[in-house]
Chains A and B, each alone.
Chain A
Amino acid sequence: MAETTIQQHQGEHEAGKLGMWIFLFTELFLFGGLFLVYAVLRATYSADFHRGAEELDAFVGTLNTVILLISSMTVAMSITAIRRKESGKALLLLVTTILLAGLFMVNKYFEWSHKLELKIYPGSPVLENMERGELLFFGLYYMTTGLHALHVLIGMILLTITAAKVRSKQITSESYLLLENGALYWHLVDLIWIFLFPLLYLVT
């Protein structure tokens, strides 16, 4: 009987992972729609997009890219740690990931508030007076980074729940589906940023 429960358990794990992967597809398609809008508008207004991108701070963008890449690494290491039954280390790595995500959001906050100080936001008179393409570029900037930031927040909540469960030993080396799915989600957040970063900051 013990054998069948292990098999059942593995079945659930596999099903859960498959479900997560399919969910990630839908997320990619959600952002895919935005990338499509980007492609069409950029083709129409390439010079304006060039100017718009110059307004963005490539340094903050690069910094955030590095932060997310490291956080992806720490969350992956956390899975390795739990597999090796080192749940203390796994917890530490998870908390590091959450802190890095928080750092990303802090940077984002300063970046956005700087833009708002310059009165660059959808519907603002400053933006209305810019070239059409620049206006659309900043529209895209806010939509894409805003939606991405929302995903960062959801990821942080998910990882916090995961961390709590690692702490209370509900996630162990035998059963760590939630950790694995949380990490998969976090990699997606990272992946989307990897595409957003050059499209918005580096097209100058």
Chain B
Amino acid sequence: MDQTNKYTHTSYLENEGRFKGILSWLLSTDHKRIGLLYMNTIIVFFLVAAVLGLLMRIEKMAPGADIMDAQTYNGVFTIHGIIMIFIIVIPGLAAVFGNFFLPIMIGAKDVAFPKLNLLSWYIYVIGAIMGVLSQFVGGGAPDTGWTFYVPYSAESATNVLFALTAAFILGFSSILTGLNFIVTIHRMRAPGMGWFKMPLFPWSLYATAWIQVLATPIIGITLLLVIAERTLNIGFFDPALGGDPLLFQHLFWIYSHPAVYVMILPAMGVVTEIFPTFSQKPVFGYTAIAISSLAIALVGYFVWGHHMFTSGISYWSRWFFSFLTFIVAVPSAIKVFNWVSTMYGGSIDLKPPLLYAISFIFLFMIGGFTGLALGSLATNVHLHDTSFVVAHFHYIIFGGMGFAFFAGIHYWFPKMYGRMYNIKLANIAWGILFVGFNVLYFPLFIIGLQGMPRRYFDYLPQFETGHFVSSIGAFILFAGLILMLYNLVRSRRKGPWATANPWKGVTLEWQIESPPTHENFETIPEIKHPPYLFKKEND
């Protein structure tokens, strides 16, 4: 299959179907095209939110109000959070790579409900647009933070209503995607692919989908109740009317903590695909990785209280939630152990996807260990609501999920577009990103320990060095992002043609043409082997 010239088949990029031009994308029910729709939307919003993040860092470069006042800063960190969480990382990997590769990796021609799949993209776009609109209409940009804590979110004069509705609508989209994936995995696996012959990225999507389906309705009803609180004065969360604000926090985190696993599980799935390919060695502990995804999903459902250690919940519930938080570290550590063991003794090929995947482990572990400091009752009291927390979840969400997204995009790019990016440039961009990331977020751990509170636009003089270094890191990170995106966007049309299997991967997506045809497979493959079976060179 050595194709050095342009491919000869009709790929999904050319097969327009019933409609032509832009409509062939906007009305396509092809899971690959929908995956790209999600990807492009997400990248646009990611750039917007990243610029907002950069603005916050510029504001904090020196003490005092530099480029914005306190109220603007409140609005900026709120919309930064809403976009990053609800529009980017929650759909993120599942909607982009899940849509594109789940059917291919299980040997199917599409997801179970292609029309529903397109509908969920439209719902997603409507929600995203509403989120952006909340900035410009009504009483000003919402200033509650993405967590919408009552009673403030019920009272704030800003346009919280739009933001709440946006998050509610985005939840619908998430549910429909999850539902689609569960049915797809149950019903559409190729003949011979038993559950334990399924690659591990689909496994992680399966666990993710269940969280999406079972946790998202809770945030749906909670947001609906806050909307009712604002419009009808219904009082469930308002202490003045006898309601209970802590009840809101419980309901909010019952969803929003599992949502963290909606973000991270597919990320783990992506790197689990990358390690065996670039070590040319079967994944270590296949079953343990598959089961630990489900274990994380299950235990992750019962740890939400660790966001509320300082809000006055009882001693025993704090004890219980802290204990469970430590338990959830176990399946995560199992995965890390398995990834490292997969590389051990393999013939390692240090290409950009593997660089990102390795840095994923590094950053995820820093995020995970600092998570244990936050999950312990005593240290949590000291660290709660400091920039230590900000650093922790950026290490998990950006260092974990973000870097896994970059890993995935560099891994599957030749399959998605049939072209290769500039590897040297990708390596340089990775280096800049990795350095910038750590320079940006690591100082926040230190000043957080020293008492720098989160969500403040100003700070005491003793935190100046830390903030200054962190802001420098933000610029480096941003430069890395631009370089990475430039390389990818340029190579989409101008990169050299890629072969069907440039990394010598063994999962199904590497056995078909690049880019795949509309139907993925000419004939549905019959699966006879476990998914990660590498042939020895002399076989």
Contact = CB atoms under 8 A, between A and B. Distances in A.
A98 to B, nearest CB: 25
Contact of A132 (B112, B241, B251): B241
A183 B251 CA distance: 31
A139 B241 CA distance: 11
Contacts of A11: 187
A133 B512 CA distance: 64
Nearest to B237: A37
B213 A26 contact: yes
A15 B220 contact: no
Contacts of B233: 122-123
Interface string A92-123: 00000000000000000000000000000011
B75 interface: no
A34 B221 contact: yes
Among B182, B187, B242, B247: residue with most chain A CB under 10 A: B242
Nearest to B179: A22
Contacts of A135: 235, 241-242
Nearest to A17: B183
A136 B217 contact: no
Nearest to A139: B234
B214 A25 contact: yes
Contact of A33 (B213, B218, B235, B242): B218
B218 A32 contact: yes
A133 B236 CA distance: 10
B183 A143 contact: no
A23 B215 CA distance: 12
Contact of A22 (B182, B218, B236, B251): B182
B242 A26 contact: no
Task: Report whether over half of chain B's contact residues are helix, strand or loop; otherwise say mixed.
Answer: helix
Given A19-B112, A19-B179, A22-B182, A36 B236 contact: no
B228 A136 contact: no
Contacts of B216: 26
A136 B232 CA distance: 12
A132 B175 CA distance: 35
Range, interface on chain B: 20 to 34
Contacts of A62: none
B520 interface: no
Contacts of B235: 122, 135-136, 139
B179 A23 contact: yes
B217 A30 contact: yes
B27 interface: no
A202 interface: no
Interface residues of A, number: 34
B187 A15 contact: yes
A122 B221 contact: no
B247 A32 contact: no
A143 B242 CA distance: 16
Contacts of B225: 33, 37, 143
B217 A26 contact: yes
Nearest to A31: B221
A142 interface: yes
Interface in B281-301: none
Contacts of B242: 45, 132-133, 135-136
A1 to B, nearest CB: 15
B385 to A, nearest CB: 25
Interface string A58-98: 00000000000000000000000000000000000000000
A2 B116 CA distance: 28
A45 B243 CA distance: 10
B186 interface: yes
Given A40-B244, A143-B225, A25 B213 contact: yes
A123 B240 CA distance: 13
Contacts of A143: 225, 228, 234
A143 B225 CA distance: 8
Given A45-B242, A136-B241, A19 B183 contact: yes
Given A15-B112, A27-B217, 7 more contacts: A19-B179, A22-B213, A31-B221, A34-B221, A135-B235, A139-B234, A140-B236
Q: Identify the 3 closest CB pairs spanning chains A and B, nearest first.
A: A132-B242, A33-B221, A29-B217
6 contacts: A28-B217, A29-B217, A29-B218, A122-B234, A133-B242, A139-B234
